[in-house]
Structure 1
Amino acid sequence: MTEEQKQKLEAQLWKIANELRGKMGADEFRDYILGFIFYKYLSEKQHLFANKLLETEKVKEYSLVKNKADLKAIQEESLENLGYFLRPDELFSAITEKGNIKIDEEDEDAEDNFIIPDLQAILSSIETSTMGNESEDDFNKLFEDIDLASTKLGRSPKARNILIAKVLKHLDEVDFRLDEIESDVLGDAYEYLIAQFASGAGKKAGEFYTPSQVSKILAKIVTLGKKKIKNAYDPACGSGSLLLRIGREVKVGEFYGQELNRTTYNLCRMNMILHDVHFSRFDIKQEDTLEEPQHLGKEFEAIVANPPFSAQWKGKDNPLNETDDRFSQYGALAPSSKADFAFVQHIIHQLADNGTGAVVLPHGVLFRGGAEGTIREYIIKEQNYLDAVIGLPPNIFYGTSIPACILVLKKCRKHDDNVLFIDASADFEKDGNKNKLTNDHVTKIVDAYEKRESVDKYAYAAPLSEIAENEYNLNIPRYVDTYESEGQVDLGTVARELANLEDAMAKTDKTIASFCKELGIEAPFGVKL
């Protein structure tokens, strides 16, 4: 698919999404449109898979299959390979046809067929079709955020039905190109929509999406020098964009993630499936990672995270944290008002010896004292797991304008006598009221990390002894000097400019005085005549 075709598809989907925009907020209509797109994807995937099975049969088109034995056989194959099953009458095209809506019709009295109960039943059927199968957890309550009875879709059932039918009709006319083996068109378009929703969702956006260029930096760093990895993990996975970005850099065996927000957790599972990650290759859980970790006992080759900045957690309020293997050895627990280092400790605990972790955090983790200072010193002095500190520009994240940094963590460090500091805070482009990183900025950061050389005003490999002298304060300006000296001042030129200004002021004074004389008034006080 060409870039022009890709952009056309993204524009089509965004236009369809705006069918719902006038009815509800960005974070609400996101759940509906992404849910409908996901249903269309599952439907078309089922249709293509079934038609492949029917190639040697008399009836070669799945939508025409009536024989119960044939349907049963297709169901068994579908559950084993796709993880779910849709009957021919449950396909997206079938329910759209039943809606029989004219997409340019605005009158609520337009003739239509009522499809809301059928659509709700189909979405429930997709979930229940997986019960008792390996894919059950991956599809359980996946569509629970799509409330087709919500008055936000329309005041009356008829109005809601017309709106839903129109959206489905629009989507039915979009070609997702699922039959193109090398194409991930829909996955790209889905990511585009998630980014657009994040842009308009304000503070809530940080809960589910990391800017794509930041994701790219993290993914490239944790996969540097590798073509494939055993597994990847994100303890605050949001919509799964960070994990999926790793999959673009290298071949990943399995994806693991945990997310607290239920709606975002559902979005992550949809995003995985939509990017053609087989249900057997991902394990996404919904729970508080710090209090109820779901993947303890596993070690991961690549860990990425963009946890909520300075989030609250139970800390000392939960006595179990003091004996938890993730936190107990550091001499202090992260403050209950700032869970940043608790996430770092969690990542270290689950990082494999051959693995790399990269986590986005607020700048405060670099220099705040107290318990955080104690933990920071232990990581550097006792464990020697901190590999690099990367300073990012301000105002590039959704929901906050504060500058952030990336901590890169390794248990078996090749360069174990220093920590690399990169100051990329000045490298960005304006993008409306936000800042953004370009591909060149990303490349510059990753290259600097890989080469690990000193670059004036940009990168410096600080010996551990120097960091100790600074009492384990990691504030980047202590190590990367970005001070720009002012140019020399030519005093002779300045003196001449001042003399010229004096002459100009004298001429102006005379002009003002002459005007005042003609008007018969006194010249302004303080004017030199």
Structure 2
Amino acid sequence: MADQQENIQGKINNILWQACDTFRGKIDSSIYKDYILVMLFVKYLSDTYKERLDEYKKRYKGDEERVNRAMSRERFVLDEISTFDYLYAQRNNSEIGMIINKALEHLENENTGKLRGVFRNIDFNSEPILGKPKERNAMLKTLLEDFNKLDLRPSVVGHDDIIGNSYQYMIERFASDAGKKGGEFFTPSMVSELLARLVNPQENDRIYDPTCGSGSLLIRVVNQVPNRKVAVYGQERNGQTHSLALMNMYLHGIDDAKILWGDTLSNPLHLEDGKLMKFQVIVANPPFSLDKWAMGFSGDGTDGDKPFKMEASLDPYRRFEWGVPPSSKGDYAFVQHMLYSLAENGRMAVILPHGVLFRGGTELKIRQAIIDLNLLDAVIGLPPGLFFGTSIPACVMVFKKNRATRDILFIDASGEGCYEKGKNQNFLREADINRIVDSYEVYQTQEKFSYVATIDEIMANDYNLNIPRYVDSFEEEAEIDMEQVKRTIASIKKQIGDLEVQMEQHLKTLGF
């Protein structure tokens, strides 16, 4: 059974990746990914709906009233003009782009509680993106023909995870292909897995990602809970990426996720009684050192030419009382937002650039406040080259409320043997993740890998958290035997001399 599902998964993934050929060389992958993923979502909804409709027709012997009543209770409601089959039948229509747009709009309106706004940021009739009508129509026809090769009925694909996995596979491929832009909407899967295990989510937890991208990190955390009985919350600033996240949730069977669209820093949307909602688990991979992170607080620009300066008093949720981060580096703005959103006994893991560990100025002041309040639990140095399109060294900072100790664990997982080297990108293996998580859970000093630092040591280092200050991972080189080196050099010289004699004899034989 596992082999059969693996074959189905592989076939679907291959067809999807081949469908990208329709756009390659014409449109950047960071843009055409939306067309591919939306069409996958529509094909999945359509095939599922069609199979359920056939089942009810057989069960109720063609009684239309009972069939319609049963279909109205399905996860998603479709009618004829919203189905993939209808779009495929219209593939030669000169207005196919507009027809697809109307189908998506209709699909949203019929499922307003779930799909409102999901397709608002994609236009299948866009001339600037897809070209003039003749070229555009040819691409859309080919796209529909490619997807027509897929049979995504539940009876064929089996478990819904296959569709979700295919969606995830495509997102990862697009992220890799898009380079630096890919990092804006996707965290490498094994890095997401590491964070998910570090926060150890439990049944009935509220799980939150304030910069959720395509939602893949949240899904990894949800999957740590066997019955997946958790509440999922996320916010994403980019409208197209927000749509990807919603579709990603539905394709993974998470229908009640609350993924909202907006700037988390200037307009946090997950509120209770006018205050920031609290979460037992928070994970995030916020944009590294975001420039102009506070521009959403600047108002309507009525101050004329006076330069805007962010102040703690401008935030109604009082998140920056420990210090206002530099305008060009938003790392601690996100960290403070998350810490203010963390419930009592909450756990939080965030991917950040190494600079947050040692930079001075206001960031030092914020770092000192976090440590003095005993919120930082661990600092984990990651291997180089894990993230799409950037070589910036990254770390994971783990935070906890109500800690039982004031010590801080440092783990250096950046060295040789802690990861697998790839051609364009490095990878964490299962064994690498297990080693990090086991070390975190044991919370002990391990030679050349981890170190438990006391608060006194942290203070003596002026709150500098640079990992090499605490974990000595230096490997001494083997002592060189100079006598052996001399003997080796003498032997090489003798070999060269013998070769020169032989060469001279050969030259004489040849008459030179």
TM-score scaled to structure 2, two decimals?
A: 0.86
Q: What is the rounded CA distance, in whole Å, between the counterparts of 1:220 and 1:262 in structure 2?
A: 29
After superposition, the Cα gap between the structure-2 partners of 1:165 and 1:470, relative to the gap in structure 1 and judged at 3 Å, is: same
Letter in 2 for 1:487: A
Q: What is the rounded CA distance, in whole Å, between the counterparts of 1:384 and 1:38 in structure 2?
A: 45
Alignment partner of 2:248 out of 271, 283, 295: 271
After superposition, the Cα gap between the structure-2 partners of 1:181 and 1:491, relative to the gap in structure 1 and judged at 3 Å, is: closer
After superposition, the Cα gap between the structure-2 partners of 1:507 and 1:71, relative to the gap in structure 1 and judged at 3 Å, is: closer
Q: CA deviation at 1:29?
A: 1.3
After superposition, the Cα gap between the structure-2 partners of 1:36 and 1:351, relative to the gap in structure 1 and judged at 3 Å, is: same
Q: CA deviation at 1:181?
A: 6.5
Asked if the contact 1:322/1:328 (under 8 Å) is kept, the reply is no
Q: CA deviation at 1:204?
A: 0.8
Asked if the contact 2:349/2:399 (under 8 Å) is kept, the reply is yes
Asked if the contact 1:17/1:33 (under 8 Å) is kept, the reply is yes
After superposition, the Cα gap between the structure-2 partners of 1:498 and 1:464, relative to the gap in structure 1 and judged at 3 Å, is: same
1:113-262 aligned within 5 A:
115-131=96-112, 134-135=113-114, 138-150=115-127, 152-157=129-134, 159-179=135-155, 182-223=159-200, 226=202, 228-250=203-225, 251-262=228-239
Q: What is the rounded CA distance, in whole Å, between the counterparts of 1:504 and 1:277 in structure 2?
A: 72
For 1:306-362, what per-residue CA distance to the aligned partner results, in whole angstroms no more than 9, with x for missing partners? Answer: 0000002128823455655443431x2111110101111111111111321100000
For 1:234-272, what per-residue CA distance to the aligned partner results, in whole angstroms no more than 9, with x for missing partners? Answer: 010000000011121112422111111111111111111
Q: What is the rounded CA distance, in whole Å, between the counterparts of 2:294 and 2:139 in structure 1?
A: 44
2:301 matched residue in structure 1: none
Q: What is the rounded CA distance, in whole Å, between the counterparts of 1:96 and 1:322 in structure 2?
A: 53
Percent identity between the two aligned chains: 38
1:23-102 aligned within 5 A:
23-51=26-54, 53-59=56-62, 73=69, 77-78=72-73, 81-82=74-75, 84-99=76-91
For 1:455-498, what per-residue CA distance to the aligned partner results, in whole angstroms no more than 9, with x for missing partners? Answer: 21111221222112111111111111111112222232233334
Indicate whether 1:304 and 2:283 are aligned.
yes
For 1:407-433, what per-residue CA distance to the aligned partner results, in whole angstroms no more than 9, with x for missing partners? Answer: 00100224x131111111122212222
Q: CA deviation at 1:511?
A: 10
Structure 1 counterpart SS, 2:345: strand
Asked if the contact 2:175/2:183 (under 8 Å) is kept, the reply is yes
Asked if the contact 2:118/2:246 (under 8 Å) is kept, the reply is no
1:388 matched residue in structure 2: 378
Q: What is the rounded CA distance, in whole Å, between the counterparts of 1:504 and 1:321 in structure 2?
A: 79
Alignment partner of 1:495 out of 486, 492, 499: 486
Indicate whether 1:339 and 2:299 are aligned.
no
After superposition, the Cα gap between the structure-2 partners of 1:292 and 1:320, relative to the gap in structure 1 and judged at 3 Å, is: farther
Q: What is the rounded CA distance, in whole Å, between the counterparts of 1:463 and 1:334 in structure 2?
A: 26
Q: What is the rounded CA distance, in whole Å, between the counterparts of 1:234 and 1:452 in structure 2?
A: 26
CA RMSD of aligned residues (A): 2.9
Letter in 2 for 1:329: E
Letter in 2 for 1:20: F
Residues 49-58 or 334-343, more deviating: 49-58
Please list every run of 5 or more consecutive structure 1 residues that lacks an aligned counterpart in the other structure: 102-111, 516-529
Q: What is the rounded CA distance, in whole Å, between the counterparts of 2:467 and 2:145 in structure 1?
A: 54
Asked if the contact 1:31/1:146 (under 8 Å) is kept, the reply is no
1:314 matched residue in structure 2: 294
After superposition, the Cα gap between the structure-2 partners of 1:236 and 1:74, relative to the gap in structure 1 and judged at 3 Å, is: same
Asked if the contact 1:424/1:458 (under 8 Å) is kept, the reply is yes
Q: What is the rounded CA distance, in whole Å, between the counterparts of 1:340 and 1:254 in structure 2?
A: 26
**Which of the two has higher C-alpha Rg?**
1
2:409 matched residue in structure 1: 420
After superposition, the Cα gap between the structure-2 partners of 1:323 and 1:15, relative to the gap in structure 1 and judged at 3 Å, is: closer
Q: CA deviation at 1:154?
A: 4.9
After superposition, the Cα gap between the structure-2 partners of 1:248 and 1:88, relative to the gap in structure 1 and judged at 3 Å, is: same
**Count of matched residue positions in the alignment of Structure 1 and Structure 2:** 484
Letter in 1 for 2:281: A
Q: CA deviation at 1:449?
A: 1.2
Q: CA deviation at 1:70?
A: 6.4
TM-score scaled to structure 1, two decimals?
A: 0.84
Q: What is the rounded CA distance, in whole Å, between the counterparts of 1:74 and 1:148 in structure 2?
A: 34
For 1:99-134, what per-residue CA distance to the aligned partner results, in whole angstroms no more than 9, with x for missing partners? Answer: 3x7xxxxxxxxxx67643332211110112234xx4
